[in-house]
Amino acid sequence: MEKCLIAAISDDYALGKDNDLLWHLSEDLKYFKRLTSGHPVIMGRKTYESIGRPLPKRLNIVLTRKAPAMGSGSANLLYASTLEEAFALAASTPFEGRVDEPDQCFVMGGGSLYKQALPLCDKLYLTEVHTTRPDADTFFPAFDKKIYREFSRSELYSENNLTYHFVIYGR
């Protein structure tokens, strides 16, 4: 299974503030949905709480060190207490609508998950939003562009007074 990471980051690598996103970009949400549907998604407990529900058509794997107290009430929601366990569940758990071609799982945030998962991921799907947000409280980790090379870059999108590219890095 290809381990992928998907994030929307500003030019200064900002990701979020007050446990929320920094922008609302409808084309980016569509892109995220198109890429991740049918695949397992792995996220930190805070990101899961900020979304508030499991994402449909995906196996949602939530990382937390408090799993037994939280429980799971949904068929497409699982908890994991280590990243290794999360990747193992992603590779082995059947779910309705699972797509095996391409065989991918996606780490989808937040900051703490990206930091831990980045060295383990083969491909990075980054929406590069051309603004700076020094007021953010969560940032994407710096990564070496000699190791992760740019595979592709979309045309420039423009929405809500922001411009952005969909960029794919791989190694």
Q: Rule CB under 6 A: which residues touch ligand NAP?
A: 7-8, 15-17, 19-21, 43-47, 50, 63-66, 81-83, 108-113, 116, 138
List, as one string, the DSSP characters of 32-69: HHHHHTTSEEEEEHHHHHHH-SPPTTSEEEEE-S-HHH
Supply the DSSP string of 64-107, one letter for each residue.
-S-HHHH---STTEEEESSHHHHHHHHHH---TT---SS-EEEE
Amino acid at 55: L
Q: Closer to ligand NAP at the Cβ: 66 or 145?
A: 66
Q: Which is nearer to ligand NAP, 81 or 94 (CB)?
A: 81
Nearer to ligand NAP (CB atom), residue 19 or residue 152: 19
